[in-house]
Amino acid sequence: MSFAPATDEPADIAEVRRVVMGARSSFAAGMRVLPAPRRRAIHAVYAFCRAVDDIADGDAPGADRVEARAALLDRWEGEVEALRADRPRTAIGAEIARASARFDLPRDEFALILGGMRMDSQAIVAPDAELLERYIRRVAGAAGLLSMRCFGAWVGDPSERFALNLARGLQLVNIMRDVEQDAAMGRLYIPAHILSRTGLPADPAGAAAHPALGRARAALGAEARAAFARASAEVGAHRRLPLAPALMMMGPYERLLARWERDWSVVPPRRSGAGKMADALRAALRPAW
């Protein structure tokens, strides 16, 4: 999405902000609860994720072919290596370097995110359980671990368990929600064991229109619910205020899952931005987990 070169700190900050605001996501609004330095750090992480995700999805300029996507991701791999050597070349990389120095971000996690985007760019279809877990660890788990440090919520092992389980729940809900959209890109992330159990075909277009899709979503939803429960069990090990942004991310997803659990045959209507924010705040302020 963006390969603007690193120049000076104000210009790098402005470039990251441009990427974040250009995504038109509720993410930016949710992160306003953070102090400015931590908000700046999570913006840098998000901008990196946005840039490489747009390449993998073919939405970035020049990313319309598999070979072109691979070449663009190669450029970001070079930036990750430059980041490890403290010589970032892009504005996003420069802001990540500053955030890493300030908040001890593990730079290997950026390489994992990039590896997940390479998996996406090749189009995953009916993965086995091991492949799906490897994919989720890269595209969602790595971002979760980085986010916990940006938020100031990191307390060691409980934070790792919280972040990875929350990431798994979020990603599974994304997979449930985006079956039709993913099918249009030749992808089917519903794992093979659920396809076999529910009779859903291992074909993106066929699965998206199949009457067994509701049963498959229900099976995946049970796994997402279990992941959210495991994440919730770790909330008490953290100070609530630093954890609030993560809980705010969980809120709208838990609400979507709860709405779906009433009737798996119907896709719940999309919530408004205000509705999602209400769900996020409700989760952050919930007195007991």
pLDDT of residue 1: 44
Domains of the chain, first to last: 1-106 (1.10.600.10), 123-284 (1.10.600.10)
Mean pLDDT confidence for 83-101: 95
* Positive or negative: CA dihedral 80, 82, 84, 88: negative
d(CA 203, CA 157): 39
- For residue 175, what are its two tokens? 């997979």
More confident of the two residues 125 and 26: 125
* Positive or negative: CA dihedral 149, 152, 158, 163: negative
pLDDT of residue 2: 52
pLDDT of residue 271: 79
Collapsing DSSP to helix, strand or coil, 188 comes out as strand
Summarize pLDDT for 93-119 with one digit per residue, the tens. Answer: 999 999 999 999 999 999 999 999 999
Looking at the predicted structure, is the pLDDT value of residue 146 above 60? yes
**Sorting pLDDT into bands at 50, 70 and 90, what band is 281?**
confident
Looking at the predicted structure, is the pLDDT value of residue 285 above 50? yes
Three-class HEC string of 103-152: HCCCCHHHHHHHHHHHHHHCCCECCCHHHHHHHHHHHHHHHHHHHHHHHC
Collapsing DSSP to helix, strand or coil, 90 comes out as strand
DSSP lists the bridge partners of residue 67 as none
- What Rg do the C-alpha atoms of the chain give, in angstroms? 19
pLDDT of residue 289: 62
